[in-house]
Chains A and B, each alone.
Chain A
């Protein structure tokens, strides 16, 4: 499936229909977000079929970013059964996100 790019209106459905979802909030002008991109890409491949990996551009989906109080990017959220269970602010190593997903699986 690869990385998906949900809009504000289909975000809830994404959370409802998938067990574990990792969402990377980012923007095109954000240096650390670009650094994180290849790591998120790797994670989406590694967890193919187990967890859904999504990216949300905070400039495009402002309402979504505001709803989740994204105040610094990148911020990565992990949801389990629609419930927010993890928040990591700033770019971190792949292992940090893997642990978050593993805890949810």
Chain B
């Protein structure tokens, strides 16, 4: 089945992504908004500097943003985008294993504070993976450690176990109730990844545990892992005033494109990004 081409694929459903969605719809563009359940604003106790909304909770503000977007017909879909791949004049996105096609991509993925694990970069693709559904089958009959830093991690660990991988799940909290009983569990943190050319062991609470692969499942995938070749400046996705990244057709807005990490800035940038993406699509037709 040929997937349907969306005009603008928006990744992230915070203030920037939802602002982009309503403005893209206003320009008559089709959009799909993809996001994980993780949202920073949702957890803010109080917001005091968003014009017209005195002393509102982050959750209430997010609710009203979502309601507004939905009332205009925005499609909000839950799940992680794992890869973005430019193909001649459009993009392919891997959304939970299905392929989504879009003419433009708008990154509104927020700024997650994430520190890479010791050895993570070195072993990426050599025994370190961010995608259990992508690489899991390679490790049937082998040992895998799943480091659960995201809500969906338990589901992925169970999936690996189901297809015949010997899984150990590691997370800071207690053993999750929905974790399959065959999956081993260690409460703690991964501190380092070890091996020669490929991963051989992972240090958990400083104790080495032998493994063939480490799946690191975070809520946010680093932009450069999401889309190869994306330019980064000072830790943020590099954009110009039109919210264009270095890759034509990919735009970035909100926290992921730089400071200040504020709602008003995100909403404004979402507007610009949506308008520029719309213009990009219209220019392509000429």
Q: Which chain A residue has the least Cβ–Cβ distance from B101? A: A35
User: A69 contacts the other chain (Cβ, under 8 Å)?
Assistant: yes
Interface residues on chain B, number (Cβ under 8 Å): 29
Digit string of B63-99 for contact with A (CB within 8 Å is 1, else 0)?
Answer: 0000000000000000000110111100010100111
Known contacts A71-B213, A89-B125, A35 near B99 by CB under 8 Å:
yes
- What is the minimal beta-carbon distance from A72 to any residue of chain B, in angstroms? 4
In the bound complex, how far is the Cα of B98 from the Cα of A11, in angstroms?
A: 31
The answer, among B86, B97, B127, B213, for a CB contact under 8 Å with A31, is B97
Do B94 and A32 touch across chains, with their CB atoms under 8 A apart?
A: yes
Q: Which residues of A contact B92 (CB under 8 A)?
A: 35
Do B125 and A36 touch across chains, with their CB atoms under 8 A apart?
A: no
User: A34 contacts the other chain (Cβ, under 8 Å)?
Assistant: yes
The answer, among B87, B125, B213, for a CB contact under 8 Å with A90, is B125
Do A72 and B86 touch across chains, with their CB atoms under 8 A apart?
A: no
Do B126 and A93 touch across chains, with their CB atoms under 8 A apart?
A: no
In the bound complex, how far is the Cα of B213 from the Cα of A69, in angstroms?
A: 12
Do A31 and B99 touch across chains, with their CB atoms under 8 A apart?
A: yes
Q: Which residues of B contact A20 (CB under 8 A)?
A: none
Do A89 and B124 touch across chains, with their CB atoms under 8 A apart?
A: yes
Do A31 and B197 touch across chains, with their CB atoms under 8 A apart?
A: no
Do A31 and B134 touch across chains, with their CB atoms under 8 A apart?
A: yes
User: B259 contacts the other chain (Cβ, under 8 Å)?
Assistant: no
User: Which residues 88-142 of B sit at the A interface, judged by CB distance below 8 A?
Assistant: 88, 92, 94, 97-99, 124-127, 129, 131, 133-135, 137-138
User: B228 contacts the other chain (Cβ, under 8 Å)?
Assistant: yes
User: B176 contacts the other chain (Cβ, under 8 Å)?
Assistant: no
- What is the minimal beta-carbon distance from B163 to any residue of chain A, in angstroms? 9
Q: Which chain B residue has the least Cβ–Cβ distance from A93? A: B86
Known contacts A90-B83, A91-B85, A31 near B98 by CB under 8 Å:
yes
Q: Which chain A residue has the least Cβ–Cβ distance from B137? A: A29
The answer, among A30, A65, A69, for a CB contact under 8 Å with B134, is A30
Digit string of A46-71 for contact with B (CB within 8 Å is 1, else 0)?
Answer: 00000000000011000001000111
Q: Which residues of B contact A44 (CB under 8 A)?
A: none
In the bound complex, how far is the Cα of B138 from the Cα of A94, in angstroms?
A: 25
User: B150 contacts the other chain (Cβ, under 8 Å)?
Assistant: no
Q: Which residues of A contact B213 (CB under 8 A)?
A: 71
Q: Which residues of B contact A59 (CB under 8 A)?
A: 137
User: Which residues 229-261 of B sit at the A interface, judged by CB distance below 8 A?
Assistant: 229
Q: Which residues of A contact B129 (CB under 8 A)?
A: 71-72
The answer, among A29, A31, A38, A70, for a CB contact under 8 Å with B87, is A38
User: B198 contacts the other chain (Cβ, under 8 Å)?
Assistant: yes
In the bound complex, how far is the Cα of B146 from the Cα of A15, in angstroms?
A: 37
- Report the 4 A-B pairs with minimum CB-CB distance, sorted nearest first: A89-B125, A72-B125, A35-B92, A31-B94
- Where the two chains meet, the residues of A that have a C-beta atom closer than 8 Å to any C-beta of B are 27, 29-32, 34-36, 38-39, 42, 58-59, 65, 69-73, 75, 89-94, 96
Q: Given A71-B125, A75-B125, 19 other A-B contacts at CB below 8 A?
A: A31-B97, A31-B98, A31-B99, A31-B134, A32-B82, A32-B94, A35-B85, A35-B92, A36-B85, A69-B198, A70-B138, A71-B127, A71-B129, A71-B213, A72-B129, A73-B134, A89-B125, A90-B125, A92-B85
